[in-house]
Structure 1
């Protein structure tokens, strides 16, 4: 292995360590609205599944959470009462109930996303233009490498 390979490995490790430290620091700020909400871990997990995967049947939620139908039904009921989840009939099968985020649940995740966006913009705003240009270029290269590796569509919007 040559000197350039050693430097590449060292820099890759430095990037991972820095990225991990930054994620750890920003996660607490980003999750503050969710952590201040007095949700149990099970309720948080249920909300997160619905938020990230969209409207779900009760049986799909029970399977995703690896709990029984009565357990997930009780958790759903409590979150519906708090205005965080909503239930409705499946238009294709009236026997099936679909569970989605209610307005307050959407607001909770929107607050977390807004916190992440504000924090990110504030931090990036502290960089000088040369550093910001270099970072934008590096991210474009990362997105292109990811696209090549995964063979999926563009990783970023034009």
Structure 2
């Protein structure tokens, strides 16, 4: 039980440090050139589509854990803002594939480069030993995140199989 309490306390401290780092970094970032009417969910859609060009609305819906009608509305608004394009799949004309426009790609790149500059300033002050530790820990975080993603995909596949077996 003591180990569980220690883990909970360490997670709390990590969240506190993360929030403080975010707040400090945000204070020093110049304003990003985002369209004023872009929502956080729309930004998430753009980031996912950038990572998976040619994704379908259904795949996007599953990736963001929102309903297909919700994704349809988000996509419609982003197409209207000239941030997303829709293309018919040449191998299956029923499928509509999504891609970023050049404007959206440039906007995301600009946002990331601002954050990267602040991050670079902070990280450059760490020692070699601290950087090595940070690389090891972030590498492990990535491994755990990949494991969780695989587990979620497996659970979704199993749920679909069970649903199909019942039908």
Normalised by the shorter chain, which TM-score bucket? 0.5 to 0.7
Rounded Cα–Cα distance in structure 1 between residues aligned with 2:94 and 2:37: 32
1:1-158 superposed matches below 5 A? 12=10, 16=14, 17-26=16-25, 32-33=31-32, 37-63=36-62, 64=64, 66-69=66-69, 71-125=70-124, 127=125, 131-143=126-138, 146=140, 150=144
Q: Which moved more, 1:32-41 or 1:81-90?
A: 32-41
Change (3 A) 1:28 1:68: farther
**Contact map agreement 1:30 1:113 (CA 8 A) in 2:** no
**Contact map agreement 1:46 1:65 (CA 8 A) in 2:** no
Rounded Cα–Cα distance in structure 2 between residues aligned with 1:141 and 1:74: 41
1:5-24: CA deviations, max 9, x gaps? 9xx97x95696132342134
Instruction: Please report how far the alpha carbon of residue 132 of structure 1 lies from its aligned counterpart in structure 2 after TM superposition.
Output: 2.4
Q: RMSD of aligned C-alpha atoms?
A: 3.7
Change (3 A) 1:18 1:105: same
Rounded Cα–Cα distance in structure 1 between residues aligned with 2:87 and 2:118: 36
| Displacement over 4 Å in runs of 4+ | 11-15, 27-32
* Runs of at least 5 residues in structure 1 that lack an aligned partner in the other structure: 153-158
Length, aligned pairs only: 137
**Contact map agreement 1:30 1:112 (CA 8 A) in 2:** no
Q: Structure 2-normalised TM-score?
A: 0.60
